């Protein structure tokens, strides 16, 4: 079922009475608010919360759309728990369709989204995750054996290369070296998509011009290999014995080739940069905290997966890779004491929740122990993967991958920062990455 787009609540549809009933917010011009949001949201939102409270309104391009930002877990639970018919996510992600495809779960809503999600779920739960683990561990060990030692390097770049290899071999299931050699540069170019490319979702004619035309050529080359791989996989009789996501998807659902292609590209774009960045932030923190590093190394030696996973979780808390998510209301919606009109964009601010001292004592400290023991962090207070029916299906895969990477590297190396001061967060596309790429030095453990 295809749903009709919901009109945005913006400067064209917002009347004065409705404007007075919205949560308070800055009166800056829309263009200024959009510019600050685009480059400084992690610094701007905390200041807005301090001034206006836990719920506030900003106005953003296009059209001065009304965005209500939420920062309290109970309010965000209301949003995440709302019906898929009442709050849409896919409508706000339409710009991604030019890259991910029209069948991506990120651009679908209601029944279409639930149908695709239901078919994806078996490939990312339970026994399926266990089946991927050995290959992820093997790739992590190969990276650990080949990182620079004794000289500074950017760990974020190494993590991006590793997570790309995981996508190619564990998700796509490509292991032939000749095919991998062809795919690596092409897929790398797809991953490094400039946000301007995504404008083609709204203006298809842009595909006639560079750089859109060049990007489309790269897409076609990647698609040709993916469709060839899909066709070859469909002919195999041993899918149940294969430990890759594509084979699991073929067993778990009824897909067209185009639908499968869109799922694979979505997994590539959603699962590559985010996991690599989370790992870079984890090493950034370990490099500056010798006592935490020693405990993490002990955990790696003892296969104490719970502690290694807690390191990854605390890195995602302190440095949320995605600072906020969005929903669009298809009818009036009640939250935080406000009745918000149809078309309002609701924006749960992950970064504000994770930095709240009422939820996390000494929130700027890196303490993996928060996620261990008899009183761990409540699930509603830790939301780097979103929540509800839109929670990232790859969350378990990402944490498993992070655990294996931490184990492989921490068993071998001590980690030190090139500079003692923390690296600032830098916004790249939609992710907040270490400003100097996690500039560290590895030395063999004594």
Per-10-residue mean pLDDT of the chain, 446 residues long, equals 70 87 95 92 97 97 90 98 95 84 95 95 92 97 98 98 96 93 91 78 81 90 95 94 94 94 94 94 98 98 98 98 95 97 96 98 97 92 96 96 98 97 90 96 95
pLDDT (0 to 100) of residue 63: 81
pLDDT (0 to 100) of residue 1: 45
The SS3 call for residue 351 is helix
Residues 6+ apart with CB under 8 A from 366: 285, 289, 292, 314, 315, 318
Helices (H) and strands (E) in the chain, counts: 16, 12
pLDDT (0 to 100) of residue 15: 87
pLDDT (0 to 100) of residue 4: 65
pLDDT (0 to 100) of residue 92: 78
Per-residue b or e along 262-284, where b marks 16 or more CB atoms closer than 10 Å to that residue's CB: bbbbbbbbbbbbbbbbbbbbbbb
Predicted TM-score (pTM) of the model is 0.94
Total residues belonging to the chain: 446
Count CB neighbours of 206 within 10 A: 19
Question: Nearest Cα to 401, choosing from 217, 201, 162?
Answer: 162
- The Cα–Cα gap between 384 and 350 comes to 7
pLDDT (0 to 100) of residue 342: 95
Written out in words, the top-level CATH class of the domain with range 16-444 is mainly alpha
- The Cα–Cα gap between 119 and 70 comes to 31
pLDDT (0 to 100) of residue 2: 47
Residues 6+ apart with CB under 8 A from 49: 56, 71, 352
- The Cα–Cα gap between 348 and 330 comes to 17
Using N-to-C axis directions, what is the helix angle for 155-166 and 395-410, rounded to 10°? 130
C-alpha 381 chain-centroid distance: 17
């Amino acid at each position: 079922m295809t749903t009709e787009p919901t009109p945005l609540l913006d400067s064209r549809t917002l009347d004065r009475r409705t404007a007075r009933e919205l949560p308070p917010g800055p009166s800056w011009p829309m263009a200024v608010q959009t510019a600050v949001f685009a480059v400084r949201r992690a610094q701007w939102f905390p200041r807005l919360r301090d001034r206006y409270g836990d719920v506030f309104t900003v106005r953003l391009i296009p059209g001065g759309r009304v965005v209500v930002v939420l920062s309290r877990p109970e309010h965000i639970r209301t949003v995440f728990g709302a019906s898929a018919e009442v709050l849409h996510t896919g409508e706000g992600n339409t710009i991604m369709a030019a890259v991910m495809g029209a069948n991506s779960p990120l651009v679908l809503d209601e029944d279409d989204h639930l149908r695709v999600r239901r078919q994806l779920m078996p490939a990312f739960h339970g026994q399926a995750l266990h089946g991927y683990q050995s290959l992820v561990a093997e790739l992590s060990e190969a990276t650990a054996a080949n990182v620079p030692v004794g000289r500074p390097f950017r760990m974020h770049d190494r993590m991006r290369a590793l997570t790309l290899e995981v996508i190619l071999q564990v998700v796509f299931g490509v292991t032939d070296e000749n095919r991998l050699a062809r795919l690596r540069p092409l897929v790398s170019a797809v991953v490094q998509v400039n946000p301007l490319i995504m404008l083609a979702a709204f203006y298809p004619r842009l595909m006639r011009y560079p750089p859109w035309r060049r990007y489309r050529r790269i897409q076609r080359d990647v698609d040709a290999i993916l469709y060839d791989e899909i066709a070859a996989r469909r002919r195999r009789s041993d899918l149940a014995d294969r430990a890759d996501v594509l084979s699991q998807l073929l067993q778990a659902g009824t897909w067209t080739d185009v639908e499968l292609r869109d799922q694979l590209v979505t997994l590539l774009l959603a699962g590559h940069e985010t996991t690599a960045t989370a790992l870079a932030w984890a090493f950034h923190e370990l490099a500056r905290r010798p006592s935490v590093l020693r405990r993490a190394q002990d955990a790696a030696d003892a296969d104490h997966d719970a502690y290694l996973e807690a390191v990854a979780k605390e890195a995602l808390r302190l440095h949320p890779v995605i600072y906020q998510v969005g929903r669009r209301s298809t009818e009036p919606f009640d939250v935080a004491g406000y009745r918000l009109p149809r078309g309002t964009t609701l924006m749960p601010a992950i970064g504000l929740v994770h930095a709240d001292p009422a939820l996390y004592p000494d929130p700027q400290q890196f303490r993996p122990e928060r996620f261990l023991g008899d009183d761990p962090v409540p699930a509603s207070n830790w939301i780097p993967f979103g929540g509800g029916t839109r929670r990232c299906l790859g969350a378990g895969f990402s944490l498993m991958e992070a655990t294996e990477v931490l184990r492989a590297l921490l068993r071998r190396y001590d980690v030190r920062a090139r500079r003692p001061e923390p690296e600032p967060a830098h916004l790249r596309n939609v992710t907040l990455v270490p400003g100097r790429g996690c500039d560290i030095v590895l030395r063999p453990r004594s």
